Structure 1
């Protein structure tokens, strides 16, 4: 389990030398399709939060989610929250040098391209032992992604491991802890 800060370069040309030379792009048959769940951007400006829905492609195409978050161009915090198929969640946060990422269940990469893309960009490989994949879900990525917003890495790690909670409930708890629970609930209900 990693807790360090992860940066993913903004452009494909920045990948050369430090990252794989391919960009994360959804296959043609995936584009336009969607999964159950939701993709929301939480934006903090001038001390106030607002939440907006991202396009459904964000649930199947990590590149689309990152691009859409970057397009929001806020002077404050911007956090992407993806509830993918009610199976796991992904947190994304644009940074000046790339994007910080966290997936609540690394083993979801076996079944979901967006989770596989997160692990690919983090340069994390699943264990080869299939028994390890049958264990409880484990998060990967930057567990301190929301520490400056009121959710320390240790608490996010515990929350991600709450197997009795669905991802939407986990994301609602994140919203409560960071101060955008009402705005998140409103955006999800729209």
Structure 2
């Protein structure tokens, strides 16, 4: 995607510390720059889980979770790499080739167990991602519900007008 093309969507940093969830907005620049998202998340000091939910252009979403020595990633639609640099960057970090331009199937790439320790098993995330009638924001709301931060996520979405 060209730099001059605006990318809509939202980015949320999610933190779980001392049994409590917090959701904070991230700069929308991270919707086009995976390195910026990772850097911003690494700046958050927490003894608990820290990850980001990125809704890019209401087309797909990315879960970004820094871990010691790297980052766990999950991209909801591998074909998005054909049109969006951030999706291509995710596949690059995962060392996965982008799909062919004539592929019509939607499939996720990355670690479907990225949030398993927070209450969202791999199989459930796979079901959420595979639901063709849901938009990315709806899928992210389901993720928030399954993990237990639906109230905090909903409040932030209301503030952001999303």
TM-score range, shorter chain: over 0.9
Equivalent residue, structure 2, for 1:45: 17
Residue aligned with 1:107, SS: helix
Where in structure 1 are there 5+ consecutive unaligned residues? 1-26
- 1:8-19, aligned counterparts within 5 Å? none
Provide structure 2 residue ranges, at least 5 long, that are not aligned to the other structure: none
CA displacement 1:90-127 (0-9 Å, x = unmatched):
00111011110000000000001110000000000024
Higher relative CO (CA 8 A, sep ≥ 6), structure 1 or 2? 1
Alignment partner, residue 117 of structure 2: 148
**Aligned-pair RMSD on alpha carbons?**
1.6
Q: Secondary structure at the match of 1:154?
A: helix
Provide Cα deviations, 1:103-154, integer angstroms capped at 9, x if missing partner: 00000000011100000000000244x44x212x100000000000011111
- Confirm or deny that 1:158 pairs with 2:131: no
Matched, 1:103 2:72: no
Preserved CA contact (<8 Å) 2:78 2:99: no
Task: Look up the match of 2:47.
Answer: 75
Report how many residues are paired: 159
